[in-house]
A = this chain, B = another copy of it.
């Protein structure tokens, strides 16, 4: 075993910085033997990560030297921002070789966002039945169960025994790479239940499949939203679930790894949307990233200008007491933070279906009460600081009262805004932040400066 191979052996689970450096050295030296030795033991997901982390030039060079190593799994794992580049860099035969090995759902995932020319090139590489399966899947709506499922399903007639099923499985050498259940179908292909492979293995040959079915069985419709599918997998601990068409006939099966990927994407989307970052990835370029973040900053600019208009109403008041300009951002900032806390909790609770008609009033009341309590605590603290800093007890009183008002409003807006957006069919993760901070900025400045105008001048 060479030194290189030994190193890889010890670190095989991770794509460490050291391994990346070794790969880049091998690319630099055009040493295909070393490349093979380092890359071959790596998992497709790690090779995809590697391709995402190195820069454009290194990636081109690597693909030129090692195109035979980029199989379908690597393409599947690749970030969409890079996938088209990598596919374009592959020779036609390498591409055909790569995609033939994939299950139908992985091919769908691979080609669904491609322009039609490139999509055609990939589909041409498939054998006829696989091509039909992929094209059928592409006919279902985007982000539906139909796009997520694989058409390779292991099924058995409801009247079969364990023995018949095992004999059938042994006589087929084209079983799917991974499957966890045998789906029982009636003569019209309607799924009636499923049997976990573990139960099949533990039962005598004479046992009837219908006596071994599991209570967890549930089916999805091809046109159902993938988000609902992922929610159900997570909520009901499903491992696989059949997909049926409008006539209740079995057309495919969704497995947990696909549901897990959707859940992961939904989470990621929520986090990024809450932060005002559109979808996208680390592999995107400056222009793409700039363009995606600009609209959110533009919304924020409008929000900030609205807040400034409120301040402008009180220019005379500020001119009379500049200390107000020093203290006013504190009230707005505390309100913005408290509002973000409430809205994040609400957005997550809506996503996980924990916030419903049954508890919505209780949650709103709780958030407002939390605002009252925290508002009073910080009113005392900040009132004291304001007084001590500027030697004016009334200034302390003004900031204290404004603080309580803004934190209660923050709790209210932080809960009501996402709920209202959700009822209107708008993703609350997307738009709540802008609304809530507008409210807390406007209320914060207005309460503080307005009270100051009344009390201090």
**Do B330 and A304 touch across chains, with their CB atoms under 8 A apart?**
yes
CA A54 – CA B356 in complex, angstroms? 10
Is the CB of A5 closer than 8 A to any CB of chain B? no
CB of A220 to closest CB in B, whole Å: 10
**Do B282 and A349 touch across chains, with their CB atoms under 8 A apart?**
yes
CA A416 – CA B301 in complex, angstroms? 25
> Main SS of chain A's interface residues?
helix
CB of A358 to closest CB in B, whole Å: 4
Task: Pick the residue among B43, B166, B357, B382 that contacts A235 (CB under 8 A).
Answer: B43
**Do A175 and B197 touch across chains, with their CB atoms under 8 A apart?**
no
Task: Pick the residue among B263, B276, B303, B357 that contacts A20 (CB under 8 A).
Answer: B357
Segment of A107-115, A130-138, A186-194, A368-376 engaged in the interface with chain B: A368-376
Is the CB of A308 closer than 8 A to any CB of chain B? yes
Question: How many residues in A have their beta carbons less than 8 Å from beta carbons of B?
Answer: 117
Segment of A30-38, A62-70, A116-124, A332-340 engaged in the interface with chain B: A332-340
CA A274 – CA B270 in complex, angstroms? 12
**Do B301 and A334 touch across chains, with their CB atoms under 8 A apart?**
yes
Is the CB of A353 closer than 8 A to any CB of chain B? yes
Is the CB of A423 closer than 8 A to any CB of chain B? no
Digitize A176-200: 1 where CB-to-B-CB distance is under 8 Å, 0 elsewhere. 1011100000000000000011101
Chain A residues 309-361 with CB under 8 Å of chain B are 311-312, 315, 318-319, 322-323, 325-330, 332-334, 337-338, 340-341, 343-345, 348-349, 353-359
With A201-B201, A282-B345, A359-B54 as given contacts, are A330 and B318 in contact (CB-CB < 8 Å)?
Answer: no
Is the CB of A97 closer than 8 A to any CB of chain B? no
Is the CB of A92 closer than 8 A to any CB of chain B? no
**Do A286 and B366 touch across chains, with their CB atoms under 8 A apart?**
yes
**Do A275 and B341 touch across chains, with their CB atoms under 8 A apart?**
yes
Is the CB of A420 closer than 8 A to any CB of chain B? no
Inter-chain pairs besides A178-B198, A275-B344, 7 sampled, C-beta below 8 Å: A234-B260, A267-B271, A271-B271, A277-B341, A277-B344, A298-B378, A311-B325
Instruction: Give the B-binding residues of A (Cβ under 8 A).
Output: 13, 15, 17, 20-21, 43, 45-46, 49, 52-55, 154, 166, 169-170, 172-173, 175-176, 178-180, 196-198, 200-204, 218, 232, 234-237, 239, 256-257, 260, 263-264, 267-268, 270-272, 274-277, 281-282, 285-287, 289-290, 293-294, 296-298, 300-301, 303-305, 307-308, 311-312, 315, 318-319, 322-323, 325-330, 332-334, 337-338, 340-341, 343-345, 348-349, 353-359, 362-363, 366, 369-370, 373-374, 377-378, 381-382, 385, 441
